[in-house]
Amino acid sequence: MSQTIASTAPAASASARGRRARIALRALQVLLALFYGIASALPKLIAHPTAVESFDRIGWGSGAMYTIGALELAGAVALLVPLLQSVAATALSGLMVGAFIVQLTVFHGQNAATPLILIIPLALIAWARRGQNGELLRLLRRWAS
């Protein structure tokens, strides 16, 4: 009997760690979704003066501001949809690469660390949820045929 209890203890511990890791990953996704939806997309979509000023300084204008805001909002929502989480994290990482380049070239490195810092948890989510990409592809193939 003691051998049975001893052999199931590591499995239970691993299961508890896995559960905690899944909860932590989900919490990270929710926090990033809130950040992208509220702190990043919303100012662009409501044409907050700071967003307008930044996009004017870049030289892209309001069309690009609204487009990037919409992409960030879509990414924020998709981070919360199980089938889209990995794709959303990958797409938002791509936006962050662009933001990093803009911060370096237009704003002379001011706040350039922010997009790089955001890429780290996005890459973690993309990797951890990568198994859903196959399911998404199967669904798209079925839908296309």
Summarised one tens digit per residue, pLDDT across range 94-106 is 999 999 999 999 9
Confidence at 13, pLDDT banded by 50, 70, 90: confident
What DSSP designation does 38 have? Answer: I
pLDDT at residue 40 greater than cutoff 80: yes
In this prediction the pTM is: 0.86
Q: Are 100 and 124 in contact (CB under 8 A)?
A: no
What DSSP designation does 81 have? Answer: S
Angle, in degrees to the nearest 10, between helices 85-105 and 113-128: 160
Confidence at 5, pLDDT banded by 50, 70, 90: low
Average pLDDT, the chain: 92
pLDDT in tens, 88-139: 999 999 999 999 999 999 999 999 999 999 999 999 999 999 999 999 999 9
What pLDDT does residue 3 have? 54
What pLDDT does residue 14 have? 77
